[in-house]
Structures are given as structure tokens and as C-alpha cells.
Amino acid sequence: MSKTEHLTGLIAAPHTPFDKNGEIAWEIIPQQAELLIRKGLTGAYISGSTGEGISCSVEERLKVMERWHEAAQGKLKLIVHIGALSLKDVETLGRRADELGVFAVSLVPANYFKPATVELLVRYCRKAAAFAPHCRFYYYHSSLSGINLPMPEFLEKADGVIPTLAGIKFNSMNLYEYQLCRRALGGKYDIVYGTDEFYAGARALGARGFIGSTYNYQSDLYFEIDRAFDRGDWEAVEAGMNKVCRGVDLLVRYGGVACGKVLMATQGIDAGDPRLPLAALTTEQKQSILREYEEIMSGK
């Protein structure tokens, strides 16, 4: 039984930038790609939760995919979220990803009429993955989707049924289940960890590949934590993770995506405000976020 390629390093989940009229600011995407390349990230997971993919039209998502493919210049592994309520939309997105030859496709399955069993989830993912037969397929496991089926069982039942299955984007605080998935089928599948505030915990359990939103603006901090981890400097790991967790607390208090977009200003990138139904922040809130983030990163 051969193993799939296991991703290593940081993969950012970029924001989709919007202008003052709520339209996609296309000129910002090359800036985002250049930042990730310059910082030494492995790749980008586009049009996912952080990228507000489900708040964009299929036409917009196709263009976002194309712009990222062009801007990445082959220097970033692109994973494209193709999940949608309609399987026909999944097909449109998957076929274009396949034409572009991106590294992988991924999805949160339809979550209004949702798959109720692992068997139905495998059937759905097999259909979705087949739209991009030349791309690796990562299932996106997130408690936010409302689909909380056992992932070790998913891997067991999907093995050999979904030919392009590479693994799981594992966005859960359940590190026990994460370990079960890593060990499933002799470690065949790539279980990429995706909950930033549990970074060091997953690292201690063997994780080497990570997908997250905070890597967009504080990758340097995670690289510092990694170096401290490798030399066994646990005080430095703890200090670094304290900054990570305080930063996540900031996101939680100010609405997640909206706050993350504000923090992109620390990297010289204007990502705009989120689209409804997510709430935009006031100028005062944005200023407060930047002040507090500066204090966090300075260790105050």
C-alpha cells in the first residue's frame, strides 16, 4: 500500500480582497501571492472559509482560481476549494481546476441537504473528486459545516473508492481523532492540520503540514515556534503559542474573517471588508485591532 505525498510547511488560506463597493479587488491577488512566496510558505488554499468562497458567485470563484494560478507562478501549491450547495457548481469549479492543473481540489460538502452517513459522504466526494481527475482530493473536515461524521471511518471506506483521495484538511480541536486519522491504513493519507491555536499540539503529535488563515500575516511567528520546537526550547514554544492564542482571541472577539482582513494591513495588503452576512468593522474597531495586535506581537 503506497502512501500519498504528505504536505509540509505552512499553507495560507488567503482572504478574497474586496473593494469599497464589495467587488473583488483583482489587483490585490498578485500582492497576496508575492507575500506568501517571499515569506517561504508552501502554498495557498483558496476560496475556503477565510476566502469567503461560499459568498462568491461561481463566475467569481473561477476568476479567483485563474488569478491565483497566474500569480503563483508555479511557486505555490494551490489547493482550490470547490465546495458548493449544488453539485453542478462543484462540477464547474472542479473541471476548471483540472484544466489549470492545480495541485489539489478540496471541499466542504453541501451542508443544507447534507450527507447523513459516512457512506453517503464517500459517494458525494467520489462524484466531486471525479470532476478533477488529475488533481489530488482533500476532504475538508470542519465542525462549522455541521457535518461531524467520523473521519477514520471515512478514510477506511473511501480508500480505493476515491482514486484521487490524498487526505483530509482537518479543522478540528479533536487531536485524538486527528491521531486516529494519521494512523489509519498505515499512515497512507495526508492529514493536514487546520486549527491554528492548536498548532504546537498537532506538531507534537507529528503534524508537518498546516493550513490556516493566520499564516497570511504571522508566518514568521510560526517559523520561530518550529525552530524552538526543533531545538527543544519549550519556553520559547510556549511564548510563541501564547502570542498565537492571543491573536486568535482577537479574531474571535472581532468576527474572525473581518478581523483577519484588518490584520492584513500589517503586511501592506488592503483586503477590504467581508461580504454580508458577515459584518464589517468600524474604523475605530479596526484601529483598536491593530493597536492590540501590535502589543501582542511585541510581547506586552
Of all residues in the chain, the percent with pLDDT exceeding 90 is 94
Of 64, 14, 15, nearest to 272 by C-alpha is 15
Is it the case that residue 1 has pLDDT exceeding 50? no
Q: What is the pTM of this model?
A: 0.95
Give pLDDT tens digits for 51-110: 999 999 999 999 999 999 999 999 999 999 999 999 999 999 999 999 999 999 999 998
3-state secondary structure of 196: helix
169 tagged catalytic: yes
- Provide the 3-class DSSP secondary structure of residue 210: strand
- Please confirm, yes or no, whether 140 is among the known catalytic residues: yes
Other Cβ atoms less than 10 A from the Cβ of 93: the count is 26
Nearest to 227 by CA among 245, 240, 215: 240
Full DSSP string of 130-175: HTSTTSEEEEEEEGGGT----HHHHHHHHTTTSTTEEEEEEE-S-H
> What is the grid cell recorded at 193?
492540520
Name the burial class of residue 255, with classes exposed (0-12), middle (13-18) and buried (19+) by CB atoms within 10 angstroms of its CB: middle
Q: Which of 169, 243, 261, 286 is catalytic?
A: 169
Residue 121 one-letter amino acid: L
Looking at the predicted structure, is the pLDDT value of residue 144 above 90? no
| φ and ψ of 205, to 5 deg | -90, 5
Query: Could you tell me whether strands 104-107 and 136-142 are parallel, antiparallel, or unpaired per DSSP bridges?
Result: parallel
pLDDT at position 3: 56
Residue 181's contacts (CB-CB under 8 Å, 6 or more residues apart) are 151, 152, 155, 168, 170, 189, 191
pLDDT, tens digit, for every residue of 190-232? 999 999 999 999 999 999 999 999 999 999 999 999 999 999 9
Q: Which domains does the chain have, with CATH numbers?
A: 9-233 (3.20.20.70)
Q: At residue 5, does pLDDT exceed 70?
A: yes
What's the mean per-residue pLDDT of the chain? 95
Q: Among the options 124, 138, 139, 140, which is catalytic?
A: 140
Nearest CA to 254 out of 291, 211, 199 is that of 291
Partner residues linked to 148 by β-bridges = none
